[in-house]
Structure 1
Amino acid sequence: MFGRTIWTASCAPKPGMRTLLQTANDLKAVGVRAVGGVVVNRIGTSRQCIRGVIYPTWNDLTTLRTGLGWSFVSQGMNYADMTALTTDAQRYDESGATIPILAAKGHNQAWGLFNYPNDLQDAAAQAVVTDYFSFGRVYTEEPLTNTRTPATTYPYPLLTFSINGGQCNNPSLPCYDFPVRSDRRTTALPDMLTVLRPAPGNYGILQLYRVVEGKGGTMGQANAWDCTSTDWRNRWTGHPENFCRNTLLAALRQRSTSAIITTPADVAIAWGRGRP
């Protein structure tokens, strides 16, 4: 899954910053399709620069869906903090109201999952969201997968393992402890494989944001990275939402080929949660 479905990692892209379409074609080459979380009001008829990154157009999302098999879920109308909203009308406008908008654009499985912006949720938000969405995204700090009983028990959490860039995993290198936003360390390849090799009856979700390759900038710069090492332990990115392309593809090539690549909506139907 791609959080916020970002087109590229900067409003002034540098060489090595992959576009979402390039990454989608990488995934297709290894037999994978993805789910994108959509912030509805960040998608328009032209690619918009918002908060330092570029977002796709509605036509881009259609291309990903019809040409590459992607599907899309809601990540809110405006990416608002659901716990800061004070009425059910506001909570609906941020969540449930996005479903018909996405459906009108041809994205008919948005009801399968609501990606709570920044993972912020409370009982009041869950009461509204669960009326319209089968599941609500919940980040897990461990590489865990979902099983039917917890996922279909109120408030219907769908555990999602967010993979991030950051410091490298080699303690002998300077990249091991340089300053990184949120004090992140690059997600370890074996942890990704835990999610990509689910046991029968389990459903695993890896989420990332944007992909980079090669080398850009120097250590200490916020949007720098170095993915050139042949060893995943030595790779790093200065921004935790950037992730090395070669590590991602290495993980996907080692996934369980017997596991079904599917969507939250299809899992909801299979597990009896259906469409709320």
Structure 2
Amino acid sequence: MRRSATALAAATVTLTAGAAAATTANAQPAATTAASVSTAAAPGTRADAAYLTILFGRTQRQSMDRGCEPLPNSVPLTRVATVMRDRGVSGVGNVVVKRTGQTPYCFENYVETTSWNDLTQLRTNYGWTFTSAGMNYLNMTQLTRAEQHAESCGSVGALARRGHTRAWGLFAYPNNKLNDTIQAQVVKKCFAFGRKYGTGLTSKAAGTKWPNWQSTLSVEGGKCADPTQPCNSLLYKSIYMTPAKLIPKVKVNPGYWSTLQFYRFVTGTSSPGTAMQWNCSGPENTHWTSDAELYCIRDFIRVIDAIPDTVRVTDPATVAEAWGVKPSA
């Protein structure tokens, strides 16, 4: 059962800089079993139920500063997973297979990747499942047919061999580079749905229509949402998506599936001179982040706490099973 925002607000939102900077390798998960937050199909799954998926783009471990040290006040992924488990829900990570190693590493001097062991721990201790963002995160529209197949379908087996057997539910097209031909002739052979960025809401009628696109809302940071504040004039392309904008997305009606995709999280305010900057203090409409993939953990908690008990938080494979959508091969 999900716990209320009132009961958990103070304890969960308070994240110190030291705790946030700790790596997931040192984090000790609680004794709660994954079964209590499992996203796998269960009795009572129905086509007319209300579904919600919380995706995590590329399943990134933590934001890094120059020199590949964790950014002060950045929030590691296991902390996010714990916040969700405390509320009886779990996440779905999009995995880039070739960016996942035996140990975490600093990717392009801005993010720490998850390792295969991290993914196993998220699955067994937090009830997470994983789907694919490709073998190498390549632009599918610039590949030959054989390369498209290897990039997409090749990842299903690679993930299954690591114990992640629910990847067939969704292919998360890298950078939203897609078209109907690739979806119908290649990706549908191995995946139930293809991810397309949009409003985040997919009706059963739309999701079951060939070639089975689903809509995912990419949750972005950016300049603050209040046009009367100086932070709204910051030179960032995107506008920070406040909880007020996202909470209606988790109040899903029967027969619909809502999907929100987050990336990396921060808390408090950034340190002067760090590679990325943000302010998560004060009213939510004044929150801002310099990177579109950064989001304030306190706002994420507000959104998760707003999920009604009538909505089932689950993975794409469960929705596919309920709606009768299968890979075509």
Give TM class, smaller chain.
over 0.9
Structure 1 residue 146: Cα displacement:
1.1
Tell me, in whole angstroms, the C-alpha distance in 2 between the residues paired with 1:191 and 1:131. 35
Aligned to 2:315: 263
The answer to whether 1:224 aligns with 2:253 is no
Tell me, in whole angstroms, the C-alpha distance in 2 between the residues paired with 1:45 and 1:20. 17
Tell me, in whole angstroms, the C-alpha distance in 1 between the residues paired with 2:120 and 2:132. 15
Structure 1 residue 91: Cα displacement:
0.4
The answer to whether 1:64 aligns with 2:114 is no
The answer to whether 1:39 aligns with 2:39 is no
Aligned to 2:239: 185
- SS at the partner of 1:101? helix
Pairing partner for 1:239 from 261, 286, 291: 291
- SS at the partner of 2:85? helix
- SS at the partner of 1:255? coil
Q: Per-residue CA shift, 1:95-115, capped at 9, x if unaligned?
A: 000001100111000000000
Aligned to 1:27: 84
Tell me, in whole angstroms, the C-alpha distance in 2 between the residues paired with 1:124 and 1:260. 32
Conservation of the 8 A alpha-carbon contact between 2:222 and 2:291: yes
Normalising by structure 2, what TM-score? 0.79
Structure 1 residue 119: Cα displacement:
0.6
Structure 1 residue 228: Cα displacement:
1.4
Aligned to 2:180: 123
- SS at the partner of 1:146? strand
The answer to whether 1:78 aligns with 2:132 is no
Aligned to 1:104: 161
Structure 1 residue 275: Cα displacement:
4.3
Aligned to 1:170: 226
- How many residues of Structure 1 are paired with residues of Structure 2 in the alignment? 269
Structure 1 residue 264: Cα displacement:
0.4
Tell me, in whole angstroms, the C-alpha distance in 2 between the residues paired with 1:115 and 1:201. 22
- SS at the partner of 1:179? coil
Aligned to 2:111: 53
Structure 1 residue 193: Cα displacement:
1.3
Structure with bigger RCO (C-alpha 8 Å, 6+ apart): 2
Structure 1 residue 221: Cα displacement:
6.8
Tell me, in whole angstroms, the C-alpha distance in 2 between the residues paired with 1:217 and 1:124. 47
Conservation of the 8 A alpha-carbon contact between 1:269 and 1:275: no
- SS at the partner of 1:130? helix
Q: Gaps (5+ residues) in structure 2? A: 1-54
Q: Gaps (5+ residues) in structure 1? A: none
The answer to whether 1:138 aligns with 2:192 is no
Pairing partner for 1:9 from 51, 55, 63: 63
Q: Per-residue CA shift, 1:68-97, capped at 9, x if unaligned?
A: 000000000000000011x22100110000
Root mean square deviation, CA, Å? 1.4
Which shows bigger deviation, 46-55 or 93-102? 46-55
Structure 1 residue 245: Cα displacement:
0.5
Name the % identity: 36
